[in-house]
């Protein structure tokens, strides 16, 4: 594990995203309050799972520093054009190292939770494009993914 003791604590933020592609019929199940096969509100459960997982990142990723998160938001949006669900996770901390991994773990876990909750309705669901969108803070400064 890299020693970060000499680094100053600074405000850090990272945003990650993911896509969960599925059929239009499965997406309609997701947007219903009862969700797929009566499992409940898919988007609400996935949101909580993403937030909870961000807090466990250092336990999941070898050599990842434990971060004192000051906030984590996970937004899930049904997108009929995809069709599927778009996930956006934002992690914030005041610490000596970045929160990119926390944001990526939150986005990934939220996407996996959507998959888990709809797999009984559709086995061919795909999780795609898990990626860092933006990060700020620390010596490397502000970075934003260029749009294609």
Which residue is catalytic, options 41, 73, 79, 116? 116
Instruction: Clarify whether 41 is annotated catalytic.
Output: no
CA distances from 109 to 2, 9, 71, 80, 142 (A): 25, 27, 17, 22, 25
Instruction: Decide: 6 and 139 in contact? Cβ < 8 Å.
Output: no
Q: Beta strands of the chain (E only): which ranges?
A: 10-21, 69-79, 84-95, 126-136, 143-144
Dihedral over Cα of 55, 58, 64, 65: its sign: positive
CB 45 within 8 A of CB 87: no
Rounded Cα distance, 43 and 78, in Å = 9
- Would you please indicate which residues are annotated as catalytic (active-site) residues? 116
């Amino acid at each position: 594990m890299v020693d970060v003791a000499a680094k100053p604590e600074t405000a850090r933020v990272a945003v990650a995203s993911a896509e969960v592609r599925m059929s239009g019929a499965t997406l309609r199940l997701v947007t219903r309050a009862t969700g797929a096969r009566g499992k409940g509100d898919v988007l609400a459960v996935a949101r909580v799972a993403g937030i909870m997982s961000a807090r466990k990142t250092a336990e999941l990723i070898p050599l990842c520093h434990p971060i004192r998160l000051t906030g984590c938001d996970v937004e899930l949006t049904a997108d009929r054009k995809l069709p599927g669900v778009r996930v956006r996770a934002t992690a914030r901390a005041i610490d000596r190292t970045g929160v990119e991994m926390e944001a990526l773990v939150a986005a990934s876990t939220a996407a996996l939770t959507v998959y888990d909750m709809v797999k009984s309705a559709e086995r061919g669901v795909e999780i795609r494009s898990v990626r860092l969108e933006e990060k700020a803070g620390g010596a490397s400064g502000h970075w934003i993914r260029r749009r294609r």
